[in-house]
Chains A and B, each alone.
Chain A
Amino acid sequence: MAGKPKLHYTKGRGKMESIRWLLAAAGVEFEEEFIETKEDLEKLRNDGSLLFQQVPMVEIDGMKMVQTRAILSYIAAKYNLYGKDLKERAWIDMYVEGTTDLMGMIMYLPFQPADTKEKNLALIIERVTTRYFPVYEKALKDHGHDYLVGNKLSWADIHLLEAILMAEECKPDILSAFPLLQAFKGRTSNIPTIKKFLQPGSQRKPPADEKFVAVVRKIFNI
């Protein structure tokens, strides 16, 4: 038994990407088993490996964990990325839920009908720049620290960096009105474990392209 966590998902970002980011940032090596066909998914289901018949699924510490947030919370707590007390956890949770909503919108964009794409992209950009980024910019401004919560690297920072990079893929100058987020991005990207994950050849996955969308639709019947 390798002892390394083992991730079961398609070979793309989706809901697993935040888990890859968190493990990588925590310096935890992990293995991946990719679902490439419908049969692969059926096999996992028939094995009884998927508690609610869904992926992501992560084999970790003797458990077959499912449900993205459950997995992320476990990893964050295990590797001390969840704050030092209940109140810090509350703030981390609030910030992470915000970036989850933000990334969720971007994640579904390639799956929307072609004629709604432009409108949806405009809505995303509006939400990102008026609802979400201002909150994180202000948080950094108010306390003047390097990290969002408790003056220490946490899940909230890793998740925010992932969200920033995803938003920039949508609109490269999306951070133009947010100087502190720009500095945050530079700083956090330079943390050794994260820097490594951002380099070519890491387990980080590329944005979904049309080919990937077709594969996903086929495997999951959507």
Chain B
Amino acid sequence: MSGKPKLYYFNARGRMESIRWLLAAAGVEFEECFLETKDDLTKLRKDGSLLFQQVPMVEIDGMKMVQSRAIGNYIAMKYNLYGKDLKERALIDMYVEAVIDLNELLMTHPFQPADKKEQHFATIVDKATNRYFPVYEKVLKDHGQDFLVGNQFSRADVQLLETLLMAEECKPDILAKFPLLQSFKARISNIPTVKKFLQPGSQRKPPLQEKDVPKLMKIFH
């Protein structure tokens, strides 16, 4: 047994990507087992490995953890990325939950039917630039610190960076009106563990291509 966490998911971002980011940012090496066919998923289910028959699943510290939020919470706590007290945790949770909402929009974009895509894109841009980004820009402006919460690197910073980069893949100039988010992005990207994860050859996954969507849908149906 290697002792490293082992991630079970498709060879794609989906709901596992935030977990890869968090582990990488914490400097934790991990292994991955990719589901490529429906049979792979069925086998895991029959094994009794998936508490609610779903992935992501992460083998970590003797547990087969499921539910991406539960997994994220565990990793953040274990590696001290969850603030120093209950109130900091509350802020981190609020910021992370909102980022997850935005991620959901970004994540589901390739799966939209062709006739809904344009409107979905408009919704993403509207929500990102009117609802979410202004909040984080203001947080950074108000306290003037390098990190979102408690003047210390936390899960909130990692997940926000992940989302900023995903949003830019959608619309490259999406941060145009957010100077502090731009410098935040540069700063957090330069943290050694994060920088390493952003380099080619890391376990970071590329954006989902439309041509890969049918294969993924097949595993589920």
Contact = CB atoms under 8 A, between A and B. Distances in A.
Contacts of A73: 89-90, 93
Contact of B70 (A53, A65, A67, A97): A97
Interface residues of B, number: 27
Given A78-B86, A97-B69, A97-B70, A135 B51 contact: yes
B65 A90 contact: yes
Contacts, number: 75
Interface stretch (B71-79, B112-120, B157-165, B196-204): B71-79
A114 interface: no
Per DSSP, are chain A's interface residues mostly helix, strand or loop, or mixed?
helix
B33 interface: no
A94 B131 contact: no
B94 interface: yes
A131 interface: yes
A186 to B, nearest CB: 25
Contact of A70 (B51, B67, B94, B132): B94
A74 B87 CA distance: 8
Interface in B40-56: 51-53
Nearest to A139: B51
A93 interface: yes
B135 interface: yes
Contacts of A63: 87, 90
A74 B67 contact: no
Q: Which of A70, A89, A98 has the most CB of B within 10 A?
A: A70
A77 interface: yes
Interface of A: 51-53, 61, 63, 65-70, 73-74, 77-78, 86-87, 89-90, 93-94, 96-98, 101, 131-132, 135
Interface of B: 51-53, 61, 63, 65-67, 69-70, 73-74, 77-78, 86-87, 89-90, 93-94, 96-98, 101, 131-132, 135
